[in-house]
Structure 1
């Protein structure tokens, strides 16, 4: 009996499944089971690229946005094929008599080598989810630790935390609890602070120094990101209750502040998750950023700082140096440009619009002033450093934007 017999497909589709699709899927599933990757989607995408001989599509001459489009297209195609096949299989299964189902169940026990060892199960990345609470798992009364610190240390730490999205929005009473709960860690150059795949019990805030985040690729450690002063690392394992996604090694001697999981959950987590989700949803409405992956959007959301303004406030002034990029979250604004002795209104902004990118991209003074028109407005700003790091792949899109005041 053929695998497509009884499935509600046209004959040409059945032939396509048998001759074209099934051999590829069978080979891919076999390789997936042999490797048992922690992130199957990434493995399958890489597998398909190698299988199709498309290495050239990912040369250094291809932009990041083009790479993302290729990957998305292939992944959607794969997901659609798998979904169609699984739906049809489920439909066909519903028509099988009970006696046959019972016989199948007796023969369906998988071979022993399908099961992971206990060691593999411990190292496999769990599904990404926040910790749930209910009658079976209730939050308990919690008193955070309070490590002794001098006033000078507290001030240093507070200044460092103010640079991080996760702590900058904390109320003062919560900030004081966090300051007390953080423990100073001095790290030597070359010291590994986090191991990929381990369970995460701490996050770290960098006061001084830089560290490399690395992932194992084909047996080699590849640097995927460098974190610097003011950055937070190790927070994903705490935010999403999953194993460490990468290893972290000190590039030079560092001073970090360590916060334990329990303190983080009770003081910081809820506020941080709500903020990230809010901005992630908002960024989906920004045309420039709507095509980005969820991870990329979350990185941008983390770097944004909310600024509240009132009617008549000038957010940027023509001819001033440019050090920030802005996205309008609430309210309306307009751009004014001086043409000799005459000042003209040249641009209007509403929620989802952005401005300030030209001064950063071209390293030149502001081309126009931007003034708040509504009674109140809220803009999300991003520093030059974050802008260059987060929006580098979108530089071509930003540069090609035609502004009426340029």
Structure 2
């Protein structure tokens, strides 16, 4: 995505890349990583052809699809019957067991091939993966209800503090965070306790509340090597959950510890889904912010990815005059007031922004900003602010705004 910045192409073409090309490429690459074909080019060509067939299926009526499905079932039955006859002929012509074994192996290989796309509803045991799963007419995405595991208020408070330390959960709003907390299960460990094992399938990811955990990888020589030690606030096991791949490492508890496990479905629907929803929501919202209206959709999407949400109760101080500034604020919901020396100088509401002066001029905060109502703000840290925004243009805008 960052490579688009160096391309001198129109906003329309950038939007085409972001909205149309990327979703297809990401889905195809995720499936390739899952299957790991020796020659990826034929695999990708076949995947694109199957994708095209799925899209064409959407134009068929229900009756046409039913007819095609019945014809396909009939053809599959004939093929299976012909396989049986062919097997008998081969056995009669060649009594060598190897020939029969090869035939059986060929049959097994045929069984591994996926049926045509309009037969997909019959595949009830396929492993689900949000990263690689294509949802459509024949694979409807069902409404998700997260599991709820009973916890004490003390456990919820502890878990909330742990998740706040983790970048992985930074995109969650209050409601999403509560859903994740409700779905997590406490896992207590003792010295030497194996939490996950390299090569195993993974249906859970883990967040550490307390204790130290060694992550090790077994090399080709069969020797395990510790590559990282995780502690409170760290997480592990997310790659297997994201991409439906085997565990990339083993994790063992060094001593007594506590970690929380989160299931695949909740992770993909809530945590992974939150990032996508956040980008869409924030990109749309940023288009209404005066200082960002001249940006194209791609530039606003970059800012959206860097934003963090914070909430303040009425009367809370957002920033204080004279303090060093390290954040830029945009009001998403609510009202706030700026004051200098106790005198109100400006009011803010949804879509307004503040805090840019300290970042542009590397000065202390010029005013104190207080929440007049319950306030929800989007924040951008100083590094992202200077990297993503045209500071020189903002300086001129700031001079006009505050004079």
Q: State the TM-score, normalizing by the size of structure 1.
A: 0.44
TM-score normalised according to structure 2 size: 0.44
> Rg larger in 1 or in 2?
2
